[in-house]
Copies of this chain bind each other. A is one copy, B any other.
């Protein structure tokens, strides 16, 4: 790759390949685009990325990505603390936040039950969730795990935990296509499924 005549450029092209879906050709185009037409954007990306990778951790309350101990959504006084929506990943949280008018709070599992991958109740923070449900503030637990086999198993375990604390449990309405991933569903469908959520059977 030193065939570009510039070791720094070769290094940049190689580094860009850490992005998902970016191969050699795309990385080359990105590097040349930034150097030829958008150095200011490249400089800003470098800064944002360095700061984000260094400072973004997880919210101690909901486990989503956050640079603060408690994230903006958890700290907000205008969110309804009696509604708690459980999602697998921050991407799913963002999808729901953008598609629906949900004004409650979230709990992010950062995964789904998958014993083979070493993901059990402890890794998903279910003890933290049980403690929060036990505080009595949450009135309804909205389960929004992915409609996959592992997501369904996770949903059943979440429902069990909620029942022991007497919290009402609901889940996204049918309408979410089975076998899919939340983040790829169009906003209309997701809003519909969210609005029509039903009691956990």
Contacts and interface: CB of A to CB of B under 8 A. Distances in A.
B2 A72 contact: yes
B53 A9 contact: no
Interface stretch (A11-19, A116-124, A135-143, A160-168): A11-19
Contacts of A33: 19-20
Given A46-B50, A47-B50, A49-B42, A65 B20 contact: no
A78 to B, nearest CB: 13
Interface string A40-51: 011111111111
Contact of A89 (B12, B30, B32, B93): B32
- How many copies, total? 2
A57 to B, nearest CB: 10
Interface in A23-55: 26, 28-36, 38-39, 41-55
A47 B34 CA distance: 15
A46 B42 contact: no
A50 B52 contact: no
A114 to B, nearest CB: 15
B5 A34 contact: no
Given A20-B30, A29-B20, A50-B46, A65 B35 contact: yes
Interface in A49-81: 49-56, 59, 62, 64-67, 71-74
Interface of A: 2-9, 11-12, 14-16, 18-21, 26, 28-36, 38-39, 41-56, 59, 62, 64-67, 71-74, 89-91, 93-94, 97-98, 106, 183
Given A6-B72, A19-B33, 6 more contacts: A5-B62, A5-B64, A8-B48, A15-B48, A31-B52, A46-B50
Sort A-B residue pairs by CB-CB distance and give the 8 closest, nearest first. Answer: A18-B41, A46-B50, A46-B49, A5-B71, A15-B48, A5-B73, A3-B97, A12-B52
